[in-house]
Amino acid sequence: MSATTSIRIDQTLYNQAKADAAVEHRTIAGQIEFWAKVGRAALDNPDLPVSFVAESLASMSEPREDATPFVPQSRP
């Protein structure tokens, strides 16, 4: 188990994390950690769309047996 640290965050951000966490089946802390990872990865890879970064990180965290096969999308 990793160490934890308490931090203060804006109530609006907390409420948004709580709502998104319920939809994404994460804890509130897990949702905020996910957002932080997406933000860090997006800053490290400014040439990639944030949605791609978020989807990539989410797919890396789901169990392999629940993973959806990759299907390339053709460009219009």
Question: What percent of the chain has pLDDT above 70?
Answer: 93
pLDDT tier at 16, thresholds 50, 70, 90: very high
What does the pLDDT read at residue 58? 83
Average pLDDT over residues 15-41: 93
Domain span holding position 27: 11-61
Nearest partner of 31 among 15, 43, 47, 44, judged by Cα: 15
Instruction: Indicate the helix (H) or strand (E) that contains 40.
Output: helix 28-44
Are 20 and 33 contacting, i.e. CB atoms less than 8 angstroms apart?
A: no
CA-based R_g, the chain, Å: 15
Average pLDDT over residues 2-16: 91
Asked whether the beta carbons of 37 and 28 are under 8 A apart, the reply is no
Q: Are 9 and 25 in contact (CB under 8 A)?
A: no
Does 25 fall in a domain? yes
pLDDT of residue 69: 76
Overall domain count for the chain? 1
Is residue 76 one of the residues assigned to a domain? no
Evaluate whether residue 74 is within a structural domain.
no
